[in-house]
A and B are shown apart, each in its own frame.
Chain A
C-alpha cells in the first residue's frame, strides 16, 4: 500500500489539484456563466504565491491566502467589463483574458518568462492538497443547503424570472465568478508549491480545456461529478500511454461519448429523474 502510494503520489496530488480546479469552474457554471478564465486565475495565484515564497519567504498558508486573493481581485476587475456578456460571448472574452495573462507571464521579468520560474519551496504535500479539497468540499456542502445556492440555480435557469422574484442577478453572477477564481487561485498556489517549477504554458488554454472537459464528464452542476471528472481527466492520459502520439485522441473520444450518451455527465446518470 505504502509502496503503491509512493509510486503514485504525484498522480494523486495532481488529481486533488485538478479536482479543486473543476470545483472552481463548476461554481461559475452553476450560475449559468461559461467563464473560461480558470487557468488564468490559477496562473496568477501560482506566480504570486511562488514569487512571494521565493523572494519574501512566505510560508504556504500565506502564499495561499495572498495568491487566491489576487486571483479573486483579477476576477472582480474582469467581471466589471464582462458583466453584460452571456453564453459564447463570455466564453470567448474570458479565453481572451487567459491568453493575455499567459503572454504577460511570458514577457515580464518577475515571472522568469517562458523559461519558467524555479526553486519554489516544495511544501504542498498530499495532506495540504487533500486538506484544502476537504475544506472546500465541506464549504460547498454547506453552501448547497443555503438560500444563496437557490439564487444561483434560479439565475442559471432564467435570469429575467430570477430578477422577477427579487434576486440580484448581477451580484449573483459577480459573486460566483469571484468565488470560483479564489478557489482556482488556491489550486494554482498548491500546484506551484507541489511542482518546484512553473511556466506560463502550465496555465494556458490546454489547461482550461482539461478543466472544462473534466467538468462536462462529471456533470456541470454536481460537485461530486466535477471531482470524479477531474480524476478521470488526470488518470486517463496516463492510462493510455500505449497510444503514444494518439494519446490525446482519447480525451476527445471520451468527451464525444459523454455529450452523446450522458449529456448530464456522470452525475446525471444517477440524478436523472422526471
Chain B
C-alpha cells in the first residue's frame, strides 16, 4: 500500500467549540494527529468524542476554532469535501450501504479520491482489514456484525486517507477480534496514515496508541502517553467520580 504519501500531513484541531442550542458539546478542544501516529481519544459517555469527530468530518460546523489538514482548512467545508481532502472515517453504529454488495461498498470508498478499484484491489483491502468474506457479490447488510465493522474499515481505506477516524471500532467485538483489529490499525498507521481512535476498550488503547487525549464534559482534561494518562489524577477522577 502506498504510504498515502500525497497527503502525509498532520490533522490539527485548535480550540474547537461546538454549541448546540444551549448545550456546549465541545469546549475549546485541541488535538493533533501526525502522519503515522495513533492518537487515542477517550472519555466518559457524553464527553464529546463523537462530536469532535463530527466536527472534523464536516457533519457539524464548529461554533469557533479551526480544523486543518496540513495547510488546508477543513472547518468550513461540507462533509463530502472534507472526505475528498483526505479524511476517512468509520461510525460508532456501522453505516455500510446495506443493500449494496461487498465490492460496491469498498468501491464507494474510492469516491473520495475519484479513483476506481479492481476486484483484486478490493480483495487486498479486505485482507488488509481482516475481513474474511470473499463473496464480493454478497449484500453488506447480510454479513455478521464483526465483518461489517471490518468492511467499514476497508471502505475507509479505499479512500487512501491522510487521516483515518475510527469511532469505537472494537465495540461489540470479542477479545480475539479486538487483538486482530489492533494489529490492523497498527499496520495502517505504519504505512503513514494518521489515526484518531475513539475507544472504550482501554487495553486496545494502551496497546497501540502513541498518545491519548482525554475529554470530559467537552473539555480536554489530559494529553499524554497511555502510561501517563493512566496515572493522571484528573483522568482517574473523571472515570471513577468523587
Chain A contact residues, CB within 8 Å of chain B? 147, 150-151, 153-154, 157-158, 160-169, 273-274
Chain A neighbourhood of B91, CB < 8 A: 161, 164
Check B84 for interface membership: any CB of A closer than 8 A: yes
- Closest approach, in angstroms, between the C-beta of A264 and any C-beta of chain B? 10
Are A169 and B80 touching (Cβ within 8 A)? yes
Q: Pick the contact of B78: A160, A163, A273 (CB < 8 A).
A: A163
Chain A neighbourhood of B135, CB < 8 A: 274
Roughly how many angstroms separate A168 CA and B81 CA in the complex, as a whole number?
A: 8
Are A157 and B80 touching (Cβ within 8 A)? no
Question: 6 shortest A-B CB distances, which residue pairs?
Answer: A166-B112, A157-B97, A166-B83, A163-B79, A161-B95, A166-B111
Are B83 and A165 touching (Cβ within 8 A)? yes
**Count of A-B residue pairs with CB < 8 Å:** 78
A-B contact pairs, 7 of them (CB 8 A): A154-B111, A157-B98, A158-B96, A166-B112, A167-B80, A168-B78, A274-B135
Q: Known pairs A151-B111, A168-B78. 14 more at Cβ < 8 A?
A: A150-B104, A150-B107, A154-B104, A157-B97, A157-B99, A158-B98, A160-B95, A161-B95, A164-B57, A165-B108, A166-B112, A168-B80, A274-B135, A274-B137
Are A161 and B96 touching (Cβ within 8 A)? yes
Roughly how many angstroms separate A167 CA and B107 CA in the complex, as a whole number?
A: 12
Chain A neighbourhood of B104, CB < 8 A: 150, 153-154
Chain B neighbourhood of A166, CB < 8 A: 80-81, 83-84, 111-113, 159
Roughly how many angstroms separate A147 CA and B113 CA in the complex, as a whole number?
A: 13
Check B206 for interface membership: any CB of A closer than 8 A: no
Within 8 A of A (CB), among B24-57: 57
Roughly how many angstroms separate A160 CA and B80 CA in the complex, as a whole number?
A: 9
- Closest approach, in angstroms, between the C-beta of B94 and any C-beta of chain A? 9
Chain A neighbourhood of B202, CB < 8 A: none
- Closest approach, in angstroms, between the C-beta of B79 and any C-beta of chain A? 4
- Closest approach, in angstroms, between the C-beta of A152 and any C-beta of chain B? 11
- Indicate whether A158 sits within 8 Å of B97 (C-beta atoms), given known contacts A164-B79, A166-B159, A168-B80: yes
Check B180 for interface membership: any CB of A closer than 8 A: no
Check B116 for interface membership: any CB of A closer than 8 A: yes
Are B139 and A167 touching (Cβ within 8 A)? no
Roughly how many angstroms separate A169 CA and B81 CA in the complex, as a whole number?
A: 11
Roughly how many angstroms separate A166 CA and B78 CA in the complex, as a whole number?
A: 10
Are A165 and B109 touching (Cβ within 8 A)? yes
Roughly how many angstroms separate A78 CA and B82 CA in the complex, as a whole number?
A: 28
Within 8 A of A (CB), among B169-187: none
Roughly how many angstroms separate A97 CA and B129 CA in the complex, as a whole number?
A: 48
Roughly how many angstroms separate A158 CA and B89 CA in the complex, as a whole number?
A: 14
Chain B neighbourhood of A169, CB < 8 A: 80
Chain B neighbourhood of A163, CB < 8 A: 58-59, 78-80, 83
Roughly how many angstroms separate A169 CA and B135 CA in the complex, as a whole number?
A: 28
Cβ proximity bits B152-165 to A, threshold 8 Å, 1 near / 0 not: 00010001000000
Are A165 and B112 touching (Cβ within 8 A)? yes
- Closest approach, in angstroms, between the C-beta of B8 and any C-beta of chain A? 19
Roughly how many angstroms separate A27 CA and B157 CA in the complex, as a whole number?
A: 30
Are B89 and A164 touching (Cβ within 8 A)? yes
Roughly how many angstroms separate A157 CA and B97 CA in the complex, as a whole number?
A: 5
Roughly how many angstroms separate A157 CA and B96 CA in the complex, as a whole number?
A: 8
Roughly how many angstroms separate A208 CA and B139 CA in the complex, as a whole number?
A: 32
Roughly how many angstroms separate A122 CA and B233 CA in the complex, as a whole number?
A: 86
Chain B neighbourhood of A154, CB < 8 A: 97, 100, 104, 108, 111
Chain B neighbourhood of A147, CB < 8 A: 111, 116
- Closest approach, in angstroms, between the C-beta of B74 and any C-beta of chain A? 13
Chain A neighbourhood of B100, CB < 8 A: 150, 153-154, 157
Chain B neighbourhood of A162, CB < 8 A: 80, 97, 108
What residue of chain B has the Cβ atom nearest to residue A221's Cβ?
B99
Chain A neighbourhood of B59, CB < 8 A: 160, 163
Within 8 A of A (CB), among B130-170: 135, 137-139, 142, 155, 159
What residue of chain B has the Cβ atom nearest to residue A168's Cβ?
B80
Chain B neighbourhood of A168, CB < 8 A: 78, 80
Roughly how many angstroms separate A161 CA and B159 CA in the complex, as a whole number?
A: 13
Chain A neighbourhood of B113, CB < 8 A: 166
What residue of chain B has the Cβ atom nearest to residue A169's Cβ?
B80
- Closest approach, in angstroms, between the C-beta of A197 and any C-beta of chain B? 43
- Closest approach, in angstroms, between the C-beta of A171 and any C-beta of chain B? 9
Are A274 and B111 touching (Cβ within 8 A)? no
